[in-house]
Structure 1
Amino acid sequence: MVKRIERDEVRVGMFIESLEGAWQDNPFGQRRFLLRSETEVDLIRNSRITGIYINLAKGVDVDGSSGRFATPTPPRRNPSREAVVDERRATVRVVQASVKRLETAFNQSRSGEPINIESVSEIVGDISAQIGDSPAILLDITRLKSKDKVTFVHSVAVSALLVHFARHMQFEEPLVHVLGFAGLVHDIGKLAIPTTILNKSSALTADERDIVMQHPAVGHDILKRQANLPGVVLDICRHHHERMNGKGYPDGLPAGDLSLYVRMSTICDVYEAVTSVRPYKKPWSSATALSWMLQHGDHFDIPLLWKFILSLDSELTRGVA
């Protein structure tokens, strides 16, 4: 039996047969699917969909009762405490090694030598292997930053987010690897910013903000001197602080000139920055950060942001509104 319900009546376990409204208003990109999480429910409730048709033979009704032939969702198995501890230790080792190798690569660039592309690519491989199905543990580890390692750990975390997001978007692995590489080097221009400014715990002066805002262009110039770097890497390095309203920097590009990869990197960069410890602020929770980002459609590509939210672990996104 198929019945129509209102948008605010959706709940986890419903099987969606079709959605009313223009196809571009469908945030899922498919017509028939099972709602598996509260994040997906919120995605529908915050969309412009006008009505939903659910199949009671394949999912639950408004009151939570199951249809006659519905297959119950099996309970998630929680890993043992020992398994979680072991994974956390392994992740700590990967993050520490990645930060050290990235710092070495950046220092080579600081001294005028070319970046060791092979070494940075190996870091991406380590991150890709460790992140698995969920970025939760890796991102938890990257929250443990010392002041002098902020840029390097942030870059490792952004790389991990881009890898995870790209896989959620079903990109081919070679492109996933390139995006992970771009995440590692997107802030290389910060090598030119004095540490007294980067680590400042109080508000920046206007002159200091101007210096910080130069880092995408400086980084782009550094990477342009490298041979054989994909254009995607250069694009993300220069434009990861651009906004959908054209008021970003360094070029003030309008939304139509921002590539999909830049839009993805902007989301990952801001999300990681506001949810992690910085010298000048306390971290936001994931739910607070994502809710704030959703309210700033002039900054971010909102349909893409929802896809990013869906890619994250449910524990990270609980409470997003």
Structure 2
Amino acid sequence: MIKQIRSEQLLPGMYIHDLNCGWLDHPFMSNAFFVRDQATCDKILGLGIREVYIDTIKGADVWAAPSQSEVNAELDRRLQEIAQKQPEKPVVVELKDEAARARRLHGEANKLARLVLDDVRLGQPVRIERIEPLVDSMVDSVFRHQDALLPMARLKNLDDYTFEHSVGVAALLIAFGRAMKLPKEAIQELAMGGLLHDIGKAHVPEAILNKPAKLTDDEFAKMQSHVAESLRLVEGVSGVGPIARQVIAEHHERFDGSGYPKRLAGKDISLYGQMAAIVDVYDAITSDKVYNRGMPPTQALKKLLEWSKHHFDPQLVQTFIRAIGIYPTGALVRLESNRMGVVVEQNEGKLLEPVVRVFYHAGQHHYVPPEVVDLAKVQDRIASCESYEKWKIDPHQWLPA
């Protein structure tokens, strides 16, 4: 049986089924392994990992610990509760009018993010005048219809993860800021911080960034040094304001003080740093990397809820979920009718009933004529959030454009 235990309950002889944290938050070769000594237990505690999942068939048990299914049932209940709160739907234009424009903008953003990283690698300064117009365009697009740009941010090339992740974080921060009703000027700074938050990774060797094995302590420290390096690279750069700097400085801090580089806790972390931490983790764990496959968006949102007991402000996590939806735009979903499709648009006040473009039948394993289905107007409901890779479906072909 798979059970969730507190990390301080972990003992040698147990088998960790899931370290229950992001891939970049630990130096181990895998998220699952047999615990052979107390030093490993101490290291997990030192990393700020509060809870892990153990496999009681492969290792020692903890009596009375909740099962994974019990934990998931509670997280599902909390998602349902969040869905009952009526969010505003920030739509100015129709999705069809914004989709093609958002796709072009996403391509331009990825090209520019690559150029910025290449400049830094060559010792060139950050040229903020090239980035500001892009930030303005991204903010305007999300304000017109966020369901056009956000699914584009899910499309990443394994070899280009670092800068494409920055574009995804920027887009999500814009939607988050809009849901928080922040001033547009603050949202523009948030987006700027998102684009630049990992710029210091330009000085982290590719062999460390993409290492498909356990990191040494020195390699892990080098990976974490990207925060200080990012701040150094924007020092003295006009146009990178205080909000953007807080995003860069604090996106790896955690609410319980277990993050880095300063181990800030609670309200010592700025609002913008807390928002960036949530978005950074969400985009990271939903993205494919050379050493790990991303999880479906709804599963990732449940992880954010689970981790909000320690690492994030629970109210901010709930606001983020309402901002992007229980089944975020771009998610592959399976309906109770066994039909499958991609979520193309959220329905105001009905987060469990988005608009889905149906194109596949899971039971019969074949494509069907594409059909746009508004779940708020039919009896069919979403049964699960699925993986594109599992079904060998190309997301590029079905996302809004």
Instruction: Say whether the fold is shared (TM-score over 0.5).
Output: yes
- TM-fit CA distance, 1:233: 1.5
Query: What is the CA deviation profile of residues 281-312 of structure 1, one whole-angstrom value per residue up to 9, with x for unaligned ones?
Result: 11111111111111112111111110111111
- TM-fit CA distance, 1:115: 1.4
* Partner of residue 189, structure 2: 178
2:157 to 121, 140, 146: 146
Query: What is the CA deviation profile of residues 102-161 of structure 1, one whole-angstrom value per residue up to 9, with x for unaligned ones?
Result: 222232233333212121111112222333465445343333322331111111111011
Alignment of 1:90-129 (within 5 A): 90-129=101-140
Q: 1:244 to 1:211 in 2, by over 3 A?
A: same
2:312 to 300, 307, 313: 300
- TM-fit CA distance, 1:255: 1.5
What is the CA–CA distance in structure 1 between the aligned matches of 2:265 and 2:153, rounded to whole Å?
A: 32
* Partner of residue 43, structure 1: 82
* Partner of residue 312, structure 1: 324
Amino acid at match of 1:43: I
What is the CA–CA distance in structure 2 between the aligned matches of 1:314 and 1:267, rounded to whole Å?
A: 15
Does the residue aligned with 1:295 lie in a helix, a strand or coil? helix
Query: What is the CA deviation profile of residues 46-97 of structure 1, one whole-angstrom value per residue up to 9, with x for unaligned ones?
Result: x9xxxxxxxxxxxxxxxxxxxxxxxxxxxxxxx8xxx75x755443321111
Check conservation: 1:185, 1:237, Cα contact below 8 A. yes
Structure 1, gaps ≥5 residues long: 1-37, 48-78
What is the CA–CA distance in structure 2 between the aligned matches of 1:163 and 1:44, rounded to whole Å?
A: 21
Check conservation: 1:144, 1:277, Cα contact below 8 A. no
Q: 1:122 to 1:205 in 2, by over 3 A?
A: same
Deviates further, 182-191 or 308-317: 308-317
Greater share of helix residues, 1 or 2?
1
Number of positions where the alignment pairs a residue of Structure 1 with one of Structure 2? 247
Q: 1:203 to 1:166 in 2, by over 3 A?
A: same
What is the CA–CA distance in structure 1 between the aligned matches of 2:253 and 2:324, rounded to whole Å?
A: 23
CA RMSD of aligned residues (A): 2.6
Q: 1:269 to 1:134 in 2, by over 3 A?
A: farther
Check conservation: 1:134, 1:312, Cα contact below 8 A. no
Does the residue aligned with 1:298 lie in a helix, a strand or coil? coil
Amino acid at match of 2:256: N
Alignment of 1:201-280 (within 5 A): 201-280=212-291
Greater share of strand residues, 1 or 2?
2
Q: 1:118 to 1:205 in 2, by over 3 A?
A: same
Does the residue aligned with 1:229 lie in a helix, a strand or coil? coil
Q: 1:286 to 1:147 in 2, by over 3 A?
A: closer
Structure 2, gaps ≥5 residues long: 1-76, 86-93, 329-350, 353-383, 386-401
What is the CA–CA distance in structure 2 between the aligned matches of 1:288 and 1:41, rounded to whole Å?
A: 14
Q: 1:44 to 1:156 in 2, by over 3 A?
A: closer
Q: 1:44 to 1:199 in 2, by over 3 A?
A: closer
What is the CA–CA distance in structure 2 between the aligned matches of 1:192 and 1:109, rounded to whole Å?
A: 8
What is the CA–CA distance in structure 2 between the aligned matches of 1:157 and 1:198, rounded to whole Å?
A: 18
Amino acid at match of 1:96: G
Check conservation: 2:200, 2:228, Cα contact below 8 A. yes
**TM-score, normalised on structure 2?**
0.56
1:287 to 298, 312, 325: 298
Check conservation: 2:251, 2:280, Cα contact below 8 A. yes
What is the CA–CA distance in structure 1 between the aligned matches of 2:141 and 2:252, rounded to whole Å?
A: 28
What is the CA–CA distance in structure 1 between the aligned matches of 2:158 and 2:204, rounded to whole Å?
A: 14
2:198 to 187, 194, 213: 187
What is the CA–CA distance in structure 2 between the aligned matches of 1:279 and 1:124, rounded to whole Å?
A: 28
